[in-house]
Structure 1
Amino acid sequence: MAGVTRRRAQTRERLVEAAYEVFAEFGIRDAPVELICERAGFTRGAFYSNFASKEQLFLAVHEVQAQERVDRLRTAVASAINNADIADPDVATRVLRHTGELFMAALASDRTWYQLNVEFSAQALRQDELRPLTAAADERFQEALAEILVDTLAKLGRRLTVDVDSAVLTIIALYEATLKRAILRGADDRHYVTEVLPRLFAALIVPAEEETR
């Protein structure tokens, strides 16, 4: 039984990896299921024994890609903190700037991921059955980011003056705007994440012991 479960997990993993490649090439709507199966080395039967539709497969892709970005952010934050002077009154801003610089190193792959997310979100806005699934996927990602943000500020002896959900939405909105601008204009405007965002957050961060006014 364990062998069957392991093989099934491996099948899903290969289908998810192949799907990301094919989605990136053709878009989600036009991606042929046959090509996804061919890239993964399986038949259509293997596809439909694991996923009911391309939309369900994309949500599995979303889970994997989101986790990769969460892991990448954790690594960037850890590196930034290790190189920070906690006694520096501007330490939070410096850590956020350093984190942004490290995270933006994978800008090219994130452009592709952003395009796929926009396409799927547009589809979800039109299809009632996709909305709760898409919202749940987004919420899991945002919760992971919120955990990283709160933990990072605690290590720096800082806290937010706004609720963490609003702070995370601000980060995501600015990052997505950066990706959109890069795609439409062909310009690498990463300074919005590495410079503007840290300065913006400086106004939303205070020492942990400071009273809310």
Structure 2
Amino acid sequence: MATTGVSLETPKRMTRRRAETRRRVMAAAYEVFAETGIRDAPVELICERAGFTRGAFYSNFASKEELFLAIYEVEMRERAERLRAAVEEAAGRAAPGSVDEVLRKAGLLFMESLAADETWYLLNAEFRAQALRQPDLRAPVAAAERRFHETLADILHNLLDRLEMRLTVDPHSAVVAIVALYETMLERAILDELPDKADSRYLTDVLPRLFTALTTASR
């Protein structure tokens, strides 16, 4: 069973004890969500796994949806930092303009284990479908995705600067296209039951070609 490895920073005006409670609830919730799905996850089971009462749960999160959004923020931040590190490593070894080489290396470095990525993709897909059906969830989900996309755009901008390249479209559109391709790759790998998702042609062939189409030399 994949776990999130969640680590929650202590916000202002929140005690360390309460922050630790939130961290444990989030870690337990990730495990339960992975086992049962978000909609069918019993709050009681989450509390049991975390070692707290329902009162502790509801003093920190108004609902399972709010809890998942908190997990989403942490998961996306951790993924963005891993991607930033992978891109920095790949770019540091590449010659200016060698976009294809950098993207292949960065893509392979970013790929996590099959179990962890598949689990997260399934949870994220379930929650997005839920948000599409529930108007009150759309705004917070859209805001969380926007923050993640802004971070990705910053990583992309820094990468292209180092390679002496620039985008031919606006950064937001580029990130949306890249994320859509990444999610499609995961979906196809799951449905097709590919034995080695890290070697998927989407990462080794299609992704570099997409980047090539979206970029040009800065001079």
Range 125-134 or range 182-191, more displaced: 182-191
* Letter of the 2:34 counterpart: A
In the other structure, the counterpart of 2:4 is: none
In the other structure, the counterpart of 1:6 is: 16
* Letter of the 1:190 counterpart: S
In the other structure, the counterpart of 1:180 is: 187
Match 1:124 to one of 124, 131, 146: 131
> Compared with structure 1, are the counterparts of its residues 199 and 3 closer, same or farther at alpha carbon in structure 2 (3 Å cutoff)?
closer
Separation (CA, whole Å) in 2 of partners of 1:39 and 1:4: 23
Q: List per-residue Cα deviations over 1:141-163 (Å, max 9, x = no partner).
A: 11110110011101111101111
Match 1:92 to one of 82, 88, 99: 99
In the TM superposition, 1:53-68 aligns within 5 A as 53-68=63-78
> Compared with structure 1, are the counterparts of its residues 119 and 185 closer, same or farther at alpha carbon in structure 2 (3 Å cutoff)?
same
Match 2:26 to one of 10, 13, 16: 16
Range 200-209 or range 157-166, more displaced: 200-209
Q: Does 1:52 align with 2:62?
A: yes
* Letter of the 2:81 counterpart: D
In the other structure, the counterpart of 2:88 is: 78
Separation (CA, whole Å) in 2 of partners of 1:196 and 1:106: 21
Give ranges in structure 2 of 5+ residues lacking alignment.
Answer: 1-11
Partner of 1:50, secondary structure, is coil
* Letter of the 1:207 counterpart: A
In the other structure, the counterpart of 1:41 is: 51
Identity of aligned residues (%): 61
Give TM-score scaled by structure 1 length: 0.91
Separation (CA, whole Å) in 2 of partners of 1:62 and 1:157: 33
Preserved CA contact (<8 Å) 2:95 2:163: no
1:136 Cα deviation after fit:
0.6
Separation (CA, whole Å) in 1 of partners of 2:185 and 2:214: 21
Match 2:167 to one of 145, 160, 167: 160
Q: Does 1:31 align with 2:41?
A: yes
- What is the Cα-based RMSD across aligned positions, in Å? 1.6
Separation (CA, whole Å) in 1 of partners of 2:112 and 2:24: 26
Preserved CA contact (<8 Å) 1:104 1:190: no
* Letter of the 2:155 counterpart: I
Partner of 1:132, secondary structure, is helix
Q: Aligned pairs, how many?
A: 205
Separation (CA, whole Å) in 2 of partners of 1:105 and 1:17: 18
Give ranges in structure 1 of 5+ residues lacking alignment.
Answer: none
Separation (CA, whole Å) in 2 of partners of 1:4 and 1:163: 39
Q: Does 1:146 align with 2:153?
A: yes
